Chains A and B, each alone.
Chain A
Amino acid sequence: MAYRLQADDNNIIRNKNLAHTRRERRRSMVIRSTDIDLGFIHEVARISGESVKSCFQCGTCTGTCPSGRLTSLRVRTTIRKTILGLKKDVLSSPAIWECMICFKCHEQCPRGVNIPAVMIALRNIAVREGFPPPEGYLKMAKAVFEEGAVQPPQEVVTRDFESFSRGSLNLPGLSKPVDSDKFSKAVGETSLRKIVGG
């Protein structure tokens, strides 16, 4: 697009700046061959078991996404970038962690892509490639080693600010994994321990 320069100096400067930022923006939108990982789409398809490539970009997923209304998650964009092989862009984005796995998009997808399964595959690859997951996930993984559950039993506080434990409610104590050493060893063998860093 050509810019008509005005006789006014100020306008010349302003329009030059405008042209400059436009050029910059266009440059940033260019996908360079060095950003592309051709194997990425196959990796995602293999791990998720989904034919991600069958997506024809209708955008129904983004339209039905209850999370995307409030977060940075744009499902169609994420899927498109995955298909293009923009591995680093996708894996470093907080968007892949903002999917609620509610399956609304999956129910509506005319191509039958199980998008939550794709999101989970992307998260698994991200963790494996060293992109850190939100802190809460690591806390839950740690709790599995220590208590055998992502959330150990807690005391509850009522709306009248009384607190109760399971015992004081006459509930049986929760049984822990039979042998926590064996349990921990087996869970460790699933390479979860490496992620937690224990």
Chain B
Amino acid sequence: MLPKLDVDLVEIKGAGCCGFPLNSINNLSWVYLTARNLALCEDQRLDMLPLCNGCHLSMCEVKQTLQANPALKDKINGLLASEGLRYEGTGKVRHIIEVLHDDVGPDRIRTAVSRPMTGLKFAAHYGCHAIRPSELGRPDDSRNPTKLETLIGALGAGWDMYPERLDCCGAGIAVSAGESSLKIAGAKLEKVRAAGFDGMVTTCPFCMRMYDARQEAIGALLGSATSIPVFYYTQLLGLCMGMDEKSLGLHLNMSPVNEVLQKFQAKTAIEQPAV
């Protein structure tokens, strides 16, 4: 749906992982891996659009680190030289919430929406690294972010504040304390479900993995009502712009998204009988 909103996407050839988890065991390898991707992007003179909050933080942090530490920058460039790459720090790193809210804008989205999602209410989940740490310049305010809610509103859908809105998905300790990480994700799912939302919306793949793909495991572990449809914001945007479910990968969501899809289809069928 991004090309339809005049955002062109180009694949970065040869891109690897941002290396965020490796920061914990070897700081330098993380700086190298992230700087390598940034250098590849600079090579094509494009802005970077990492979809994951963690990758976005990684890239912003490495950019800041290398700007503040020229000696480290020289060292990294020495390592990158074997691939003929060079990191300068000229490319921008963008976040999907930023692109949709600040560049495309809610008004443009409102006009692009052909099938508004009225009557459905969603809980926005930003994910930690989209809003924290605030001093690094995150896409939205750390205490009271509103951009994702605005974007949900632009689809004609409802949203509401809830106390657990800014809580972590728990993915950060999936490796070191798996059960606790599921409990942390489950606590939020329980609350979102109890608050009467039709579904949960996020943009981060790592949060998505916790809430969507691991939802069944969370339910089995906690033995409580945690089942709730979870979507990427872009999936809902595509639906409202009239794209078909398969091309949006909605058959790949592991959470019970059919509940929302059926309500949405029934509604649009009444409003637009010709289609």
Contact = CB atoms under 8 A, between A and B. Distances in A.
Interface of A: 47, 66-67, 70-71, 94, 97-104, 106-107, 114, 116, 120, 123-124, 127, 133-134, 136-138, 140-141, 144, 148-151, 156, 158-160, 162, 164, 169, 172, 175-179, 182-183, 185-187, 189-192, 195
Given A67-B173, A134-B175, A178-B83, A187 B253 contact: no
Interface in B120-164: 128-129, 132-134, 142-143
Given A127-B26, A150-B21, A159-B254, A104 B128 contact: yes
28 contacts: A67-B170, A70-B180, A94-B176, A98-B173, A98-B177, A100-B173, A100-B184, A101-B128, A103-B132, A107-B132, A120-B23, A120-B24, A123-B24, A123-B25, A137-B24, A137-B25, A140-B175, A141-B29, A144-B16, A150-B17, A151-B17, A159-B254, A177-B16, A178-B13, A182-B83, A183-B83, A192-B22, A192-B28
A78 to B, nearest CB: 14
Given A67-B177, A94-B176, A190-B79, 15 more contacts: A67-B172, A67-B173, A99-B172, A103-B128, A116-B133, A123-B25, A127-B26, A134-B175, A144-B29, A160-B251, A162-B251, A183-B16, A186-B79, A187-B32, A190-B29
B80 interface: yes
Nearest to B134: A107
Given A71-B180, A150-B22, A178 B14 contact: yes
Contact of A114 (B26, B133, B256): B133
Contact of A124 (B26, B143, B168, B174): B26
Interface in B13-53: 13-17, 19, 21-29, 32-33, 36
A43 B244 CA distance: 55
Given A67-B180, A136-B176, A169 B24 contact: no
A83 B154 CA distance: 50
A98 B252 contact: no
Nearest to B181: A100
B29 A137 contact: no
B74 interface: no
Contact of B252 (A71, A101, A156): A156
Contacts of A137: 21-22, 24-25, 175
Given A177-B16, A178-B14, A190-B32, A133 B25 contact: yes
Interface of B: 11, 13-17, 19, 21-29, 32-33, 36, 79-80, 82-83, 128-129, 132-134, 142-143, 167-168, 170-177, 180-181, 183-184, 249, 251-256
Contact of B16 (A120, A124, A149, A156): A149
A148 B34 CA distance: 12
A179 B58 CA distance: 23
Nearest to B182: A70
A140 B22 contact: yes
B253 to A, nearest CB: 7
